[in-house]
Amino acid sequence: MVLIVLLVLVVVGQGAFLGVLQHSLDQANQRAAADRAAAGRRADSLESRVKALEQRSAQSLDPTAVSSAVLPSVFLIDAVQATGTAFAFGKAPTGGGTDLLTAFHVVSDLYNGGGRQVALTHNNERFTADIVRVDQAQDVALLHSTETFPRLAAVSKAVPTGSPVMVVGAPLGLSQSVTTGVVSAVRNDVPGEGGKTFIQFSAPINPGNSGGPVVDAQKQVVGIATLKAPDAEGIGLAVPIEVACQSFSIC
């Protein structure tokens, strides 16, 4: 009888112990699940903060980094009767060499007079290029050089108003000059331009900047500098780069 009682007590004790153990395990599992959920929330929060920082960084233009990347692709162009700026751009031509873009009005006198060859200058080195195609209505011209230059790429999406930009060119013949500003507006109400779309920007430009690239913080071309408001500063206009892409199929 005593043995039976002892066995019952042992069984009851084991059951109670197993119950306590199971309760402890359940609590431990609950704490672990809560910890995993909290860790997941922290990871999501950290990822959101990292993405926000990346977006802010992408919107911030580093003039030194951008100019270092862009300047090797930009040239002073001498079209005999006029000077301006040209830049290497687009896909690698199938026949070799490099395509370049400039504003048509930079080469218009030469082109309309039958001339097709221009001179390019970069860091006191001189090259030649041929005018191969023009779109007079849009004020863009396509050049080709047998030399190989580093090429710039077109912006991958529309640049919103307020985005920082840099203009690279040769104002008054001062090659390799950079100025910075922001996209002021995208407009199609420029007097005398027949409703054509322009990117307005605040970076200062002067004669000689025409044909130069307007680039964003990612070193991509937004537009081609073409006009400035007379008797005003900080009102420059660029032909959107997609116009040249469509005209010449080089993007």
Tell me the per-residue pLDDT of 142-171, one tens digit each, with 9 for 90 and over. Answer: 999 999 999 999 998 888 999 999 999 999
Q: How confident is the model at residue 111 (pLDDT cuts 50, 70, 90)?
A: very high
Question: Residue 89: inside a domain, yes or no?
Answer: yes
Q: What is the CATH number of the domain that holds 240?
A: 2.40.10.120
Question: Residue 144: inside a domain, yes or no?
Answer: yes
Q: Is the pLDDT of residue 34 over 90?
A: no
In the chain the beta strands, taken as DSSP E runs, fall at: 74-78, 83-88, 98-102, 117-122, 125-135, 140-145, 164-169, 177-187, 198-201, 213-215, 221-228, 236-240
Q: Would you call 48 a catalytic residue per the annotation?
A: no
Catalytic residue among 67, 78, 99, 139: 139
pTM (2 d.p.):
0.77
Question: Residue 21: inside a domain, yes or no?
Answer: no
**Coil, strand, or helix at residue 190?**
coil
The string of DSSP letters for 102-135 reads E-HHHHHHHHHTT--EEEEEETTEEEEEEEEEEE
Convert the pLDDT of each residue in 180-215 to its tens digit. Answer: 999 999 999 998 899 999 999 999 999 999 999 999
**What pLDDT sits at residue 56?**
47
Question: Residue 215: inside a domain, yes or no?
Answer: yes
177: containing domain: 63-248
Please tell me the least confidently modeled range out of 28-32, 40-44, 117-121, 225-229.
40-44
Catalytic residue among 67, 78, 99, 105: 105
Question: Residue 167: inside a domain, yes or no?
Answer: yes
**Average pLDDT of every residue of the chain:** 87
Q: Would you call 122 a catalytic residue per the annotation?
A: no
Question: Residue 117: inside a domain, yes or no?
Answer: yes
| Domains held by the chain: number | 1
Q: CB neighbours of 204 closer than 8 A, spacing ≥ 6?
A: 179, 181, 233, 234, 236
Candidates 87, 91, 106; CA nearest to 178 is 87
Q: Would you call 210 a catalytic residue per the annotation?
A: yes
Question: Residue 207: inside a domain, yes or no?
Answer: yes
Question: Residue 16: inside a domain, yes or no?
Answer: no
Q: Which two tokens stand for residue 183?
A: 């996209």
CA distance 181 to 168: 12
Catalytic residue among 145, 177, 184, 210: 210
